[in-house]
Amino acid sequence: MVTFGSLFQALEVVFSWPTLGWLLIGTIIGIVIGAIPGLGPNLGMAVLLPLTFRLNGIDAIIFLICIYLGSVYGGSVPAILVNTPGTAGAAATTLDGYPMARLGRAKEALVVSATSSAIGGILAGITIILISPLLVAVVLLFGSPEYFLVALFGLSLIAVVSKGSMVKGLTVGAFGLLISTVGYPIATGSPRYTLGIIELYDGISFVAVLIGVFAVGEMIKLSAEEGSIARENFDLGGPIMPGFRIVLSNTRTLLKSSFIGGIVGAIPGSGASISNFVAYVEALRSDEDSESYGEGNPRGVMASEGANNATVFGALIPTLSFGIPGSGSTAILLGGLLMHGIRPGPALFAENLYITHSIFIGLLVASVFILLVGLAFLPRLVYFTKIDTNYLIPIVLTLSIVGAIGLRNNWIDVLTVIVFGIVGFYMREFDFPIIAFVLGVVLGPIAEENLVRSLQISGGSLDIFWSSPLSILLILLTVASILSPAFQQSRGDATD
């Protein structure tokens, strides 16, 4: 049964001022960031994270998560109008959205996109709130050894499902873990790798690493590309009802896509960039009129957009319950949670359940905002697809670097942002899964703390890591995920 007490408390929080204001601002900023090709939720969240310092914890998290949700929807605008997905999560939207625009149905496609995004998100959100008691029961089974093992499993899985080779994923993941060990460890009292520099005693800020990798690295990459300016113009006049009717008469496609989005989102390392294609392919497979996909079938837009917003909800499950982010955006969100003293884990499902419910209810309200803002400002959204990214690069870089010094007033953070921006750029260039590196940095302290605490409980014995059925299951899953490429390869060899 859903805990009604915490739900009412969450409703009170979300509908209070200024929380509702931050929710709306976050959603609008997200939509704008998503609508500008080349930017995206990771960059927007990373750059604005230091600015949330002055907000209270729940307001800051709701603001950040609304940027994430808004930009996933915003990405569909350039996908439909200029055949360039604003975010990776809207890539499948181009397949039918752009042909619809070319057929003179741009407004219909945009209405289908806004409605599907909103309803897909709402369906996923309600489902997660309903199953939250089950999540609570599962999360409460976890102790320090299980948390350490789940962090290891998360890292191995992320390395496996991310783009690029598994060895690359594991290597950069371990490198990220290594970077996180600089400074004073939580469990022991002696400093590590500080080189006598006082500024390094607090360690390397993982928020600075995130800003570097996602904002500075992305801007260096963008500077090497031609400024993306959309020149096409579409007529966005006419009624919005036909788009609504399409969505309401295809509820099965929407339900299925929302469900797929939620499930895929909950798998670490996947995210909207995968879920929109999985949902699109499933819609195509099960549709009697599959021939029309790719030619401007609105159900193609529905499938992709219904799934990608639902992914945001699914991605929050591992982030909030185990502290294992499912994507770059949730890694930044985790950074925000820790920065504001909110630790993921059992507490978020017990005494602080209202925080978890506030986040999900905030997202439900943001989904409604997406529909209202998306439809009300539909013709205005076109302008954002025409912004030349060359003008945005120096502003984003300024925000990133000034934001870095704002984190702790520590020059090491400025250096971290720049160095990891450059390192992140080259990692991306050479197909190293950047998400594995980021998660290494983010998960490092959590994994180490639980490792040391487990060893302290067991008096130094490693037996504690296979003393419960849950621990054994986690070990088996980790081993299976690490060995899976070898199995797959040997199976491929046998087939050949």
Partner 1 sequence: MAVTDFVPNEVRTRFTLRHVLVGSMIVVGGLMLVGSFSFVREAYLFPRFAAIVTIIGSVLLLVQNYLPERLNRAISSSVDVFGETEKELSESVGSDREESADEASSDTGQTAPTQFMTLLLLGFALCSYLVGMLWTIPIFIATYAWRFDITRKRTALLALVGFGIGLAFQLVLDIPIDTGLIFEMVTSRW
Q: Which of residues 446-465 bind partner 1 (CB under 8 A)?
A: 447-448, 451-452, 455-456, 460
Which is closer to partner 1, CB of 122 or CB of 396? 396
Question: Which residues 135-164 are close enough to bind partner 1 by CB under 8 A?
Answer: 160-161, 163-164
CA 260/CA 303 separation, integer angstroms? 10
Total of chain residues touching partner 1, rule CB under 8 A: 88
Please answer whether residues 435 and 269 qualify as being in contact, where contact means their C-beta atoms are separated by less than 8 angstroms.
yes
In eight-state DSSP terms, residue 292 is G
Q: How many CB atoms lie within 10 A of CB 197?
A: 10
Quick check: helix, strand or coil at residue 228?
coil
Which is closer to partner 1, CB of 131 or CB of 483? 483
Which is closer to partner 1, CB of 360 or CB of 432? 432
Which is closer to partner 1, CB of 134 or CB of 289? 289
Which is closer to partner 1, CB of 351 or CB of 429? 429
Residue 57 is a binding residue for partner 1 (CB under 8 A):
no
The site string for partner 1 over 236-275 (x = CB under 8 A, - otherwise) reads ----------------------------------x--xx-
In eight-state DSSP terms, residue 294 is T
Phi and psi of 192, rounded to 5°?
Answer: -130, 140
Residue 220 is a binding residue for partner 1 (CB under 8 A):
yes
Phi and psi of 183, rounded to 5°?
Answer: 105, -160
The site string for partner 1 over 367-406 (x = CB under 8 A, - otherwise) reads -----------------------xx-xxx-xxx-xxx-xx
Element (H, E) at 15: none
Residue 187 is a binding residue for partner 1 (CB under 8 A):
yes
Given 16, 233, 251, 488, the residue binding partner 1 (CB under 8 A):
488
Q: How many CB atoms lie within 10 A of CB 418?
A: 18
- List the structure tokens of 145: 């050894």
- List the structure tokens of 168: 């690359």
Integer distance in angstroms from the first to the last C-alpha of the chain?
52
Question: Which residues 26-55 are close enough to bind partner 1 by CB under 8 A?
Answer: 50-51, 53-54
Cis, bond preceding 99 (omega within 30 deg of 0): no
Which is closer to partner 1, CB of 349 or CB of 437? 437
Min CB(176)–partner 1 separation in Å:
8
Question: Which residues 406-445 are close enough to bind partner 1 by CB under 8 A?
Answer: 406, 409, 411, 414-415, 418, 421-423, 425-427, 429-430, 432, 440, 444
Quick check: helix, strand or coil at residue 142?
coil
Nearest to 68 by CA among 354, 305, 327: 327
Min CB(402)–partner 1 separation in Å:
5
Residue 277 is a binding residue for partner 1 (CB under 8 A):
yes
CA atoms within 13 A on the CB side of 441: 26
Given 94, 258, 367, 478, the residue binding partner 1 (CB under 8 A):
94
Residue 16 is a binding residue for partner 1 (CB under 8 A):
no
Residue 66 is a binding residue for partner 1 (CB under 8 A):
no
Min CB(185)–partner 1 separation in Å:
6
Residue 343 is a binding residue for partner 1 (CB under 8 A):
no
Question: Which residues 192-211 are close enough to bind partner 1 by CB under 8 A?
Answer: 192-193
Residue 440 vs residues 116, 211, 368, 444: alpha-carbon distances, Å:
34, 15, 35, 6
Give Dmax over CA atoms of the chain in angstroms: 72
Quick check: helix, strand or coil at residue 183?
strand
Which is closer to partner 1, CB of 211 or CB of 366? 211
